[in-house]
A and B are shown apart, each in its own frame.
Chain A
């Protein structure tokens, strides 16, 4: 006798342990299988784009910290690049190097959190998560050393950075560069070939390159699908054309590859850091930008390869002390838009795995 079954609707979020913030998914489940998913966003909307219109050009920088709060430095950098492009400001050599060091440290920082919470989403009871947080803590200590903050750094300024790094910063980075590779080796040794992880993540949520391009996906998620697209190489901003590094790619585009690609990228970041620290020149760290900064009327789009993908600011100036319009191309929002294509037909547990492997930050999704 066939038992009549029917799908039911379940609300996942906005407060749920594995939605990485206040994301909500209206799931239609057939038993455990996901039949339909309808994302609902906006629970963390603070209107940052609108708020930016009432701040001075410099005053927007603290707002950018609150976008992707896992990687504030990168957000600062993207905004400053956009405004500098708008006003045509040349920034000092030392400031460029400090920015690159910060951005790459931030990338490692972000990927450690991403991989840690990916394992958490797969049900590892916080151990990989906390081990990775231990490494992240060392980087956060460095950020605290330069900016006094541990999460929202507000460190970069239009025309450079807010202050020079302290004298013991460079030795501290060098020490960190010695400590991190063994730690990454340990992570790979214990996590890479874990049988249960392979079972859970291999082949789950395969994102084809075509689909990724159609959805405008960037960053590690795109590179895991096999496309070597990285703005640091394709459209070098700042001084990235001076460094030697590779763009790692994977072939499958499944959740496992999205985890692997982040581990590989961290090692490339270490390479960039080693070169940047070695080449770090002396000199001023801030161009001469007036206190009441009025860029000429016009518009500019500044973009970077943030840890999560292409992250850009589109700023419009009417010649006043505040942006006329400030649009944010938020990576997380665009990357997560593909979630429906990935999860249909998979089980509830796979939904969590796929969601975790994309690595979003709700501060950025909702802006």
Chain B
């Protein structure tokens, strides 16, 4: 911990230096970018480890426990193995698209972490439009996945590519609208300011927004039960079916990198990010992200997968209307309540969440109602 502390605090230290200090460019942008990338990769390895151990426990088996202490180095071993694999390029692929796809998919995931506040102000760039930046950049990943699916000249991959586009187009709306209601309360688009505004964590002020964001986020990054684009029972592995070796490793990194991204976003927007007593700020941030990831893996190990038309229907008929209603109600509350009266929103919004979900699933849309026509 003593070693990590100064590294994490580099941006804070650098902010104290005069702005015309010549080391600012190298010290801040290059070094901190490097730190961010390393942190992301390390966290991805941690996430893989947690996922495998947790799912192992839930399936009454042990999970990896041989490589390194408690199997902690299993991810390292896997990465090394996959790096040494022969990269096979099928003859029929569209070469430029096929080669570019892993890069186009990977880069946005890392770039998004530039605005993620690991500590108070501990971010590469405190953008005043942080949330918009996150949503916009992370969508580019979809283009990469579509390129992979299209360029592989494989029909399973093609189906997967179509599913990616369909799901991301649909789920972008509930994600954006549920974030919008948070922004109404916080009054800022910067992720750091959103954390600072959370004297009461927004999960309490925005229970419905949280649920919508969580579900839609899962669909956006295609984690279970919305992992349609790599549904191995249907389309084997989906868009990365024809990739092997390092190119496959990059897709794997993207998959868990996105999961880390969503965990970070949820912990920042709804769980008060780095705020917390006693422990250092960055540790609080990581703990909250891990809790979110734990729940995501829990769902992964538990739920069957929805079908593509049901997934579309869930976005348009369930999540979107609820998110819009939530946005309107939040707007009215923010207008009518003063800053220190926000706690009144807690009971109102929880009641509204329960009533709306019950009413909506009874009256309009329920997944288990059978065949959904599209």
Asked if B319 is at the interface (CB within 8 A of a chain A CB), the reply is no
Q: Restricting to B226-264, which residues have a CB under 8 Å from any CB of A?
A: 227-228, 231-236
Residues of B within 8 A of A194 (CB): 303-304
B224 touches A125 (CB 8 A): yes
A127 touches B231 (CB 8 A): no
A131 touches B370 (CB 8 A): no
Residues of A within 8 A of B309 (CB): 347
Most chain-A CB neighbours within 10 Å: which of B58, B368, B371?
B368
B310 touches A199 (CB 8 A): yes
Q: Restricting to B295-317, which residues have a CB under 8 Å from any CB of A?
A: 300-310
Asked if B225 is at the interface (CB within 8 A of a chain A CB), the reply is yes
B227 touches A127 (CB 8 A): no
Asked if A229 is at the interface (CB within 8 A of a chain B CB), the reply is no
Q: Across the two chains, which residue of chain B brings its CB closest to A120? A: B233
Q: Restricting to A121-155, which residues have a CB under 8 Å from any CB of B?
A: 121-127, 130-131, 134
Asked if B156 is at the interface (CB within 8 A of a chain A CB), the reply is yes
Asked if B55 is at the interface (CB within 8 A of a chain A CB), the reply is yes
A123 touches B231 (CB 8 A): yes
Residues of A within 8 A of B372 (CB): 199
Asked if A275 is at the interface (CB within 8 A of a chain B CB), the reply is no
**B61 smallest CB distance to A (angstroms):** 7
A195 touches B371 (CB 8 A): no
Asked if B95 is at the interface (CB within 8 A of a chain A CB), the reply is no
A119 to B302 Cα, complex, angstroms: 11
Residues of A within 8 A of B367 (CB): 195-196, 198-199
Residues of A within 8 A of B370 (CB): 198-199, 202-203
**B179 smallest CB distance to A (angstroms):** 26
Q: Restricting to A191-233, which residues have a CB under 8 Å from any CB of B?
A: 194-200, 202-204
Grouping DSSP codes into helix (H, G, I), strand (E, B) and loop, the B interface class, with mixed when no group exceeds half, is helix
Q: Restricting to B325-349, which residues have a CB under 8 Å from any CB of A?
A: none
Partner of A130, one of B61, B233, B235, B304: B61
A348 touches B305 (CB 8 A): no
Partner of A125, one of B55, B61, B310: B55
A8 to B224 Cα, complex, angstroms: 28
A125 touches B300 (CB 8 A): yes
A347 touches B368 (CB 8 A): no
Most chain-B CB neighbours within 10 Å: which of A126, A195, A350?
A195
A349 touches B231 (CB 8 A): yes
Asked if A16 is at the interface (CB within 8 A of a chain B CB), the reply is yes
Asked if B60 is at the interface (CB within 8 A of a chain A CB), the reply is yes
Asked if A236 is at the interface (CB within 8 A of a chain B CB), the reply is no
Q: Restricting to B117-170, which residues have a CB under 8 Å from any CB of A?
A: 155-156, 159, 162
A202 to B307 Cα, complex, angstroms: 13
Q: Restricting to A95-136, which residues have a CB under 8 Å from any CB of B?
A: 119-127, 130-131, 134
**B318 smallest CB distance to A (angstroms):** 12
Given A127-B59, A202-B368: A196 and B303 within 8 A (CB)? yes
Residues of A within 8 A of B156 (CB): 10
Partner of B159, one of A131, A134, A348: A348
Asked if B369 is at the interface (CB within 8 A of a chain A CB), the reply is yes
Residues of B within 8 A of A16 (CB): 236
A346 to B61 Cα, complex, angstroms: 36
A347 touches B55 (CB 8 A): no
Given A198-B368, A199-B307, A202-B368: A125 and B235 within 8 A (CB)? no
A134 to B61 Cα, complex, angstroms: 10
* Binary flags per residue of A9-21, CB closer than 8 Å to B gives 1, else 0: 0110000111000
A176 to B6 Cα, complex, angstroms: 59
A18 touches B234 (CB 8 A): yes
A348 to B236 Cα, complex, angstroms: 12
Residues of B within 8 A of A120 (CB): 233
Partner of B305, one of A8, A17, A31, A123: A123
**A137 smallest CB distance to B (angstroms):** 10
B368 touches A195 (CB 8 A): yes
- List 11 extra interface pairs beyond A125-B301, A352-B233, CB under 8 A: A32-B159, A32-B308, A119-B304, A121-B233, A123-B304, A124-B302, A127-B302, A134-B60, A196-B305, A347-B309, A348-B159
Name 25 interchain pairs, CB-CB below 8 A, sorted by A: A10-B156, A17-B232, A17-B236, A119-B304, A123-B231, A124-B302, A124-B303, A124-B304, A127-B55, A127-B59, A130-B61, A194-B303, A194-B304, A196-B303, A196-B305, A196-B367, A198-B368, A200-B304, A204-B371, A347-B308, A347-B309, A348-B159, A349-B305, A350-B307, A352-B233
For the complex of A and B, 8 pairs with smallest distance between CB atoms: A123-B305, A198-B368, A130-B59, A122-B304, A18-B233, A199-B367, A124-B304, A203-B370
**Residues of A bordering B, CB below 8 Å:** 8, 10-11, 16-18, 29, 31-32, 119-127, 130-131, 134, 194-200, 202-204, 347-350, 352
